[in-house]
Structure 1
Amino acid sequence: MALIKSVRGFTPIIGKNCFLADNATLIGDIVMGDDCSIWFNTVLRGDVNSIRIGNRVNIQDGSVLHTLYQKSTIEIGDDVSIGHNVTVHGAAIKDGALVGMGAVILDDAIVGEGAIVAAGSVVLSKTVIEPGSLWAGTPAKFIKMVDPVQSKEINQKIAKNYLMYSEWYK
């Protein structure tokens, strides 16, 4: 059973039909929508500030979400996929975005709707990633605009697949 821990008077609020892996950790000021999946060894630390997660979000194995005390929050939209071993620190990730494996997204960065952050990229603080764009590298830089229909289809397929995978564990 996942570790769900209250801190500073905040207890995580988890939506309907969510999967939390046995060793996932959720702490403090977290509000999660419906049909989400939080995978193995993932840590959501809402101890110093808030984490808000939309519907149908999957946060894959080994990822860490954290914030800065009284400075940054995390806001994740609907249908977002966050790959394995991603670090999100006080950033916003808009609807339908995809964050590739091993990426790092730093404080006050914004990943636009339907955008893709390539695996291993480092998105620096205060970077604004345009909706529907592909960014890659260390530090992450604009690569190209992606076909919005194709991007939406791919990102929604990944989100739906993770919802299906989570059903296997229930």
Structure 2
Amino acid sequence: MSAAYNGTSPAFGGDPAFAGEGAVVLGRATLGSGAWLGPWSVIRADGHYVEIGDDFHLGAHATVHIAHDVYPTHIGNRVTAGQGAVIHACTVADGCVIEREAVILDGSRIGPGAVISAGSIVFPRSELEGGWLYSGSPAKPVARVTEPELAAYHQRIRNEGAKPQDDGGLQTSLDCFVAPSARVRGTVEVGEGVGIWYGCRLDAGGHRIVIGDGTNVQDNSLVTCEAGEVVIGPDVTIGHNVTLTDCVIESGSLVGIGSLIAPGTVVESDVLVAAGTQTEPGQRLTSGQVWAGRPARAIGAMDDRKRKMLALTLPTYRDYANRFRATPHHPLNVTDPS
């Protein structure tokens, strides 16, 4: 589906070659010809623009976004992004491969023909030379990539994208902004001003998910109950492609893009969890700290600048939600391969 933002609709160089169930393109996005958009994938251009070249492949549950009015996103020709990858407010040159669940963060520039390995994190404002394989958090060069190797990376990720996805299910009606491609199942209780964004999956199972006032759960995040509840306090931001299971996130905290919060984790109030962080089961992330790493560890104290950034995110997302809630959505046209 596609939708306008602030009066601007996406522009396509031709019908997508494929648009899976729940795939969405929103706002000031321009796509070239032959785009392959996996099930529940999200391209969202609110606050700034997204420009994407020809032959773009975006895997299931992958996300392309901008950074409010600070950074746009530029993606070149024949770029391949795997399942669960996040391309956020950065520049990705021609021929790059971003493997499954890798994250590229704000202001980064990736040179042509680079490969970002699965689960790696490209830190903000990184400059990565083309023609290399990068891995780790932060992503660092590992080896040169030959042309035949690069072609094999593209083909492998695109073959994974062709596998069927089964993410259907019942939709629970909630009194908040729930994006049309989000799926909510079971007992989910929400406060005032909550936003549940595109591609999100919330499954309470036999327990409860509780989300406090003003909190936003950003695109393609997964919130599940397995053996207990998930409780998210007020004024919390859950970033893109975050996984939360049987945990507690207290008020005024932010969980960064691509983080994995393990069962039994407690994130106390006034905490910033950096992108790509993974906690251990039962871990407690104490208040007033920035946490990062795999496993998570405290790397510094919160300060006024970080608190201001967290506070500004909340009204920005409420504004986005109000605008998209008032905008009609339209199906994406798909070229018939026959």
Fold match by TM threshold 0.5: yes
**Alignment match, 2:278:** 122
SS, match of residue 65 in structure 1: strand
Q: CA deviation at 1:13?
A: 6.5
Q: What TM-score, normalized by structure 1, do the two folds share? A: 0.87
Match of 2:220 among 59, 62, 69: 62
**Alignment match, 2:314:** 159
SS, match of residue 164 in structure 1: helix
Which runs of structure 1 show a deviation greater than 6 angstroms over 4 or more consecutive aligned residues? none
Q: Deviations over 1:93-142 (max 9, x none)?
A: 00010000000001110111010110001011111011111110111111
Q: Give the alignment of 1:102-121 within 5 angstroms.
A: 102-121=258-277
Q: CA deviation at 1:151?
A: 3.5
Q: Which has the larger radius of gyration?
A: 2
Aligned partners of 1:155, 1:65: CA distance in 2, in Å? 21
Q: CA deviation at 1:150?
A: 3.4
**Alignment match, 1:9:** none
Return closer, same or farther for 1:4/1:161 CA change in 2, 3 Å cut-off.
Answer: farther
**Bigger RCO of structures 1 and 2 (CA < 8 A, at least 6 apart):** 1
Structure 1 position 14 matched with structure 2 position 14: no
Match of 2:287 among 131, 134, 137: 131
Q: CA deviation at 1:48?
A: 2.8
Aligned partners of 2:232, 2:240: CA distance in 1, in Å? 16
**Alignment match, 2:204:** 46
**8 A Cα contact 1:13 1:31, kept in partner:** no
Aligned-partner residue type, residue 282 of structure 2: K
Q: Deviations over 1:56-85 (max 9, x none)?
A: 1110111000022xx321000001000000
| RMSD over equivalenced CA pairs, Å | 1.9
SS, match of residue 124 in structure 1: coil
Structure 1 position 25 matched with structure 2 position 188: no
Structure 1 position 145 matched with structure 2 position 301: yes
Aligned partners of 2:174, 2:311: CA distance in 1, in Å? 21
Q: What TM-score, normalized by structure 2, do the two folds share? A: 0.45
Q: Give the alignment of 1:82-93 within 5 angstroms.
A: 82-93=238-249
Aligned partners of 2:305, 2:235: CA distance in 1, in Å? 15
SS, match of residue 184 in structure 2: strand
Aligned-partner residue type, residue 66 of structure 1: T
Q: CA deviation at 1:89?
A: 0.5
Aligned length: 160
Q: Deviations over 1:15-38 (max 9, x none)?
A: 4xx211111011111101110111
